[in-house]
A and B are shown apart, each in its own frame.
Chain A
């Protein structure tokens, strides 16, 4: 039995592991040989990913062969750094490896993995590539403001802090716990137009600015940006972004945790040009500071 299969699932618990029978060994090699599409992608780049992380096929400990070690994930069949990968768009190899698990895998775990394997390989790889883009583009953000807050999602995540502070609270870096709305402190009720929301924010103490190119010294505040959903599918709404101390932008959508990704899961170097999803109309950049009054 030269081949052993490990299903990479857990962090603390041991991953399920089983040996292939001689017939399955032969079928595994036949299936790999039948793959014709080559890809430069490597399946090993799964840093930060949790949950299902593919199958590792390697020589079993009792095998006399110092054989290969192959990682199969998201349709990429990766034999290691010294050889190119193959692409398996239907994820047939992953599905077959799952079918070889036998008693090594509980029925509910098998069903859960099987459902993940229904996702087409190109889509799964795209999501993964999108997540990697954050790391790849981190250097393209330019810090502009000495007072800009740091991106620390944990400060805004969990319980009432997460629920009761929305985008305007987050952009102004104030945990009011009121789901603050521009102008409320000053008795102004906004309507869903850029001028109305801008004017209300100005009443709170924010200042309009044409862009975010000027460096802001200590005491001058930090940049925020306003966008509006006018043709959004679910009706009007608006949304705020803020520039963090690393120069990239982050935002908090309603009661969700903050994120530094746009709707395509890329880092946000400029909210005017990123994928804003529902918030199709870019209104303006503004400067805020620690003294603005919001509620």
Chain B
């Protein structure tokens, strides 16, 4: 099984929604970053990622700096997790997406959270 090993902090998450307006972004606390790393490490590889829509909810972007190197951008959408240089991984039941939304805290207001949750319940567009 191909896997992703846990990575160190800092980790920033962006909810990819808008074009002109700034997207909601937040940082993960160290325990959250470790939990995310464990979660990513348990995923299995898949052959191709789910194509995200052009506008509207387009998933989450995770920026981290593995081994304190250059910033890496991980894309999470529609049951797929795309990790540069490692491949595309299956996110069954969109658990990683749900977890990331939960981690937003006050960065995402309740109304927007409900709308994104509705997107997560639907089949990827």
Binding site for B on A (CB under 8 A): 9, 50-52, 106-109, 111-113, 115-116, 127, 163, 166-168, 179, 181, 232-240, 252-256, 259, 261-263, 265, 276-279
A255 with B61: CB separation less than 8 A? yes
Q: Which residue of A lies closest to B1 (CB)?
A: A108
Look across to chain A and name the residue whose beta carbon is closest to the beta carbon of B15. Answer: A234
Show 18 A/B contacts (Cβ-Cβ < 8 Å), sorted by A.
A50-B48, A51-B47, A109-B47, A111-B44, A111-B90, A112-B45, A112-B90, A181-B20, A234-B17, A234-B18, A237-B17, A237-B19, A239-B19, A253-B19, A253-B54, A254-B17, A254-B20, A255-B61
Identify which of A239, A253, A263, A276 gathers the most chain B CB atoms within 10 Å of its CB: A253
How many Å from the CB of A192 to the closest CB on chain B?
9
B residues in contact with A277, CB < 8 Å = 53-56
Which 7 residue pairs of A and B lie closest in terms of their CB atoms, listed nearest first?
A51-B48, A277-B55, A112-B46, A51-B47, A108-B44, A239-B19, A278-B55
Residues facing A in B54-80 (CB within 8 A) are 54-58, 61, 73, 79
* Most-contacted residue by chain A among B1, B54, B73 (CB, 10 A): B54
In the complex, the answer to whether A237 meets B53 with C-beta atoms within 8 Å is: no
Tell whether, in the assembled complex, residue A233 and residue B20 are in contact, meaning their CB atoms are under 8 Å apart: no
Residues of B participating in the A interface, judged by any CB pair closer than 8 Å: 1-2, 14, 16-23, 44-48, 51, 53-58, 61, 73, 79, 90, 92, 112, 115
Chain B nearest CB, measured from A54 CB (Å): 12
Q: Contact: B16 with A254, CB < 8 Å?
A: yes
Query: How far does the Cβ of A108 sit from chain B's closest Cβ, in whole Å?
Result: 4
A213 to B44, CA, bound (A): 51
| A168 in contact with B20 (CB, 8 Å) | yes
Q: Name the B residues within 8 Å of A108 (CB-CB).
A: 1-2, 44-45
Determine if A237 and B45 form an interchain contact, defined as CB atoms under 8 angstroms apart. no
A116 touches B23 (CB 8 A): no
Interchain CB contact under 8 A, A107 and B1: yes
CA A163 to CA B17, docked complex, whole Å:
14
Q: Are A237 and B18 in contact (CB under 8 A)?
A: yes
In the complex, A254 Cα to B2 Cα: how many Å?
32
Q: Which residues of A contact B56 (CB under 8 A)?
A: 232-234, 277-278
**B46→A115 contact, CB < 8 A:** yes
Which of B14, B20, B48, B51 has the most chain A CB atoms closer than 10 A to its own CB? B20
Give the complex CA separation of A234 and B55 in angstroms.
Answer: 11
- A240 CA to B44 CA, complexed, in Å: 38
- Residues from chain A with a CB closer than 8 A to the CB of B112 are 234-235
Chain A residues closer than 8 Å to B23, beta-carbon distance: 254-255
Report A7 CB to chain B, min CB distance, Å. 10
Q: Cβ of B51: which chain A residues have Cβ within 8 Å of it?
A: 127
Contact in complex: B21, A237 (CB < 8 Å): yes
Q: Which residue of B lies closest to A131 (CB)?
A: B51
| Docked-complex contact A238 and B54, CB < 8 angstroms | no
Inter-chain CA distance A107–B45, complex, in Å, is 10
Extra pairs beyond A108-B1, A234-B112 (13, CB < 8 Å): A51-B48, A52-B48, A166-B20, A168-B20, A181-B20, A234-B57, A235-B21, A239-B55, A240-B20, A252-B19, A254-B23, A256-B16, A277-B53
A253–chain B nearest beta-carbon distance, Å:
5
Q: Verify A239–B44 contact, CB threshold 8 A.
A: no
Residues of A within 8 Å of B22, CB to CB, are: 179
- A9: chain B residues at CB < 8 Å are 47
Contacts of B44 in A (CB 8 A): 108, 111-112
- Are B48 and A261 touching (Cβ within 8 A)? no
Beta-carbon contact of B55 and A263 below 8 Å: yes
- In the complex the two chains form, what is the Cα distance from A277 to B45 in whole Å? 31
CA distance A238 to B55 in the complex (A): 11
* A112 to B21 alpha-carbon distance, docked (Å): 36
Contact, CB under 8 Å: B19 / A167: yes
Contact A238 B47 (CB under 8 A): no
